Amino acid sequence: MSLLAIAKVNYRVRIERSRFLAERFPFAREVLTFYERIAQFQNDFYGQLPKLLGNRSVPVSGNFRSELNVSFLLEPFARFLSLSESYGPGSLATHSKQVRPVGENGWGELLTRFWSTRTAEPTSTDPLTEFLARGFLQPYAEFLASSRLLPVLTMTVCRCPRCNSLPLLGVLRPEGDGGKRFLQCSFCSQEWEFRRILCAHCGEEQEAKLPVYIAEQFPHVRVECCETCKHFLRTIDLTKDGNAVPMVDDLAVVPLTLWAQEKGYTRIRPNLLGT
């Protein structure tokens, strides 16, 4: 069956925000410039998916990571390797060159292995290989996720109700005189509603054990920590900066990651570039 996205992902907004933040925060410019190229590739790939999929069968219910048809993904993946070789930092460029000779069979195994890790958690795969799979497959995951309605949730859940992945971010969206909290998936980028006072990793709900830190340099970014499990979640507060694009702003706040690590906190799920 042919599949069209219900809510098209706006990569142009991500690209424009990365350019703006690269000018504003010179210390993050290299990261954001590389991300801009990734987002441009993802935008093109996302737009090609309806044609590439054609009449191929795709999962329309349940966890869409149940299977992956890699046949139509191999040619675009070769282009993603070229991008990483040309514009990635040294170690990634070198790794991409090493992956290229394994050929289509090896690429298919690489992509299938990541896709079938249902929780999208870090695996035993090295971080560079994981980046290649995650960065390339994200548009496909976003396409599939945006093609279906959010399942009816009867309780607050800490994993993505569409693909069972860990959350990347919290997002506070304006509602009434305050903000409603959502979690954003680390893989398919979809959001689901989440309680304000609750750890997104272990479920701790005692407010005294859930400190929130805000740096003067990034007033719209909250570092929400848990003293029980020692994990943290970054939350982008759109009530303070309505122009923020959560996953892009998250890439720019490198000092907040360093601060949290120094304090002994571990991020629930790092972003694509590990910032």
Average pLDDT by consecutive 10-residue portion of the chain (275 residues)?
55 97 96 98 95 71 72 96 96 96 95 77 74 96 80 75 91 89 94 94 96 96 98 97 97 96 96 93
Same domain (yes/no): 132, 200: no
3-state SS, one letter per residue, for the chain:
CCCCCCCCCCHHHHHHHHHHHHHHCHHHHHHHHHHHHHHHHHHHHHHHHHHHHCCCCCCCCCCHHHCCCCCCCHHHHHHHHHHHHHHCCHHHHHHHHHHHHHHHHHHHHHHHHHHCCCCCCCCCCCHHHHHHHHHHHHHHHHHHHCCCCCCCCCCCCCCCCCCCCCEEEEEEEEECCEEEEEEEECCCCCEEECCCCCCCCCCCCCHHHCCEEECCCCCCEEEEECCCCCEEEEEEECCCCCCCCHHHHHHHCHHHHHHHHHCCCEECCCCCCCC
CA atoms of 79 and 126, how far apart (whole Å): 21
In a domain, 3, yes or no: no
pLDDT at 118: 54
Nearest to 168 by CA among 269, 255, 245, 246: 269
What CA dihedral angle connects 12, 16, 22 and 24, to 10 degrees?
-150
Same domain (yes/no): 190, 81: no
In a domain, 160, yes or no: no
In a domain, 159, yes or no: no
pLDDT at 63: 64
pLDDT at 2: 38
CA atoms of 69 and 275, how far apart (whole Å): 31
Same domain (yes/no): 134, 21: yes
In a domain, 202, yes or no: yes
Same domain (yes/no): 136, 171: no
pLDDT at 3: 42
Same domain (yes/no): 141, 199: no
Q: How far is CA 251 from CA 27, 89, 93, 217, in A?
A: 11, 16, 20, 14
In a domain, 272, yes or no: no
How many structural domains compose the chain? 2
In a domain, 273, yes or no: no
Same domain (yes/no): 130, 241: no
In a domain, 156, yes or no: no
Same domain (yes/no): 171, 126: no
Containing domain of residue 238, as a range?
167-267
* Boundary-marking domain end, from 113, 145, 177: 145
Same domain (yes/no): 99, 181: no
Same domain (yes/no): 120, 190: no
- The answer to whether 267 touches 231, Cβ cutoff 8 Å, is yes
pLDDT at 153: 67
CA atoms of 94 and 77, how far apart (whole Å): 16
Residue 211 CA, chain-centre distance (Å), reads: 24
pLDDT at 246: 97
